[in-house]
Amino acid sequence: MGVILLVIFLIPTLAPIATAEWDEDNWLWNIIGPERLALGDEFGCHGYEGVDINIEQWIIEACRDYLMGFTNASRWGSIPISFGLPYGTENEAVFSTLIENNFSIIGDLAELERKDLHVFSRTTTLEKNQVEMEFLTNATKDELLSVYWIAKWHDVKIREDKEAIALLVSQDVWYTTWGEWYNHKYSGENIYSYIEELTDENTTDGYSRIHITNNYSSTNGWQVPGTVFIEWNGADPFSWLDSGNLEADDKILKNGYRYADGGAYLTLSPGQEIILEFIDPAPQLSITPQLTFNGLHHSVTIVGHHVTDLHQWSSDFYDSQLRFTWLIERPAALKMNWILPIIAVSVLIATPVIIKKLVQRDQDSQNINQS
């Protein structure tokens, strides 16, 4: 009888759990995903949970399609362009497959230099008591700090370092993402100016106009604004047509201009054109592309790795000023072996019967001893 009980209770424990194909994170399209997208976050890819990209390159295209089925990659573009790779990846098949699927950015432990892919390296982590604070306090001008974040590790919840977060939100920095920073750089390099030629038909009666336009056309379809610093000789423009104002404390990318340092910072979207109006002849204009938005000191993005549950990864940052690059990983789904429900029912039926027999056996033994 004892052997039978042992078998009944061991079978459910030892029965194998079968792995289904793959699960879906419904937070990507339900509430949290749209909210993070509107705030300025980016969604990139990190493959499929538990699958080695160095062996299975199919997960690159599959992860891209999985992500695009539920959300755009950014407010600037629909196609994901950022991919997280494991440390030490040197497989050319991986790199060529990434390029074939329109990825242009990799990180963040990839210690390599490539002309066909932009590599972001990890600065430090946001994990509590693991932050290397000197990297956050000693950032160089125009540097991008790529800060690692993961919400759990082998079912252990990771806590964020609140001191590090407080430091980051107090600094004179641009909160951005991998893809935004990358495209902003090239967008700013494609901003040009030209002086409007005056004729009898468009005479301006004593003032002149300088047009500034952004001609950036990205290969990935992202329409990210670029920033330049403009300098001129003489008086300031008396009018900026088709451009709004920026404030010194604006830390999230947007269009506009702000006077500073004897000139002005100007941020323009691709295809956008503004007009500066000056009294008398147009002055000489100098345009210098900027790596960092709005004259801020440097840039910061928090990079969420192996994001299988967007709610869990983002739950500590609902009210944060920080912006995130979420590297989405499709989660593996688990399903119970079909035999387990049968075993469970068998246990429910068999256990009372066996217990009743054990009680009856004890009573019979007592009756024999008494007689």
**What are the two backbone dihedrals, phi and then psi, of residue 343, each rounded to the nearest 5 degrees?**
-65, -40
3-state secondary structure of 39: helix
Which string of DSSP letters, residue by residue, matches 163-182?
HHHHHHHHSSEEE--HHHHH
221, 77 in Cβ contact below 8 A? yes
- Rounded (10°) angle between helices 2-14 and 339-370: 160
Note the pTM of the prediction, 2 decimals.
0.85
CA separation for the pair 30, 28 (Å, rounded) = 6
Residues shown for the chain: 371
Render pLDDT for 324-340 as a digit per residue (tens, 0 to 9).
Answer: 999 999 999 865 544 54
CA separation for the pair 167, 248 (Å, rounded) = 18
Residue with tokens 């690059």: 325
Render pLDDT for 200-243 as a digit per residue (tens, 0 to 9).
Answer: 555 556 678 999 999 999 989 999 999 999 999 988 998 999 99
For each of the domains in the chain, give its residue range(s) and CATH number, in order of start: 18-171+297-330 (no CATH), 185-295 (2.60.40)
CA separation for the pair 331, 152 (Å, rounded) = 13
86, 54 in Cβ contact below 8 A? yes
Render pLDDT for 134-182 as a digit per residue (tens, 0 to 9).
Answer: 999 999 999 999 999 999 988 889 999 999 999 999 999 999 999 999 9
353 confidence band (pLDDT: 50, 70, 90): low
**The amino acid at 302:** I
Residue 314 pLDDT exceeds 70: yes
User: What pLDDT is attached to residue 19?
Assistant: 46
Q: With CA atoms as reference, report the closest residue to 330 among 2, 54, 30, 20.
A: 20
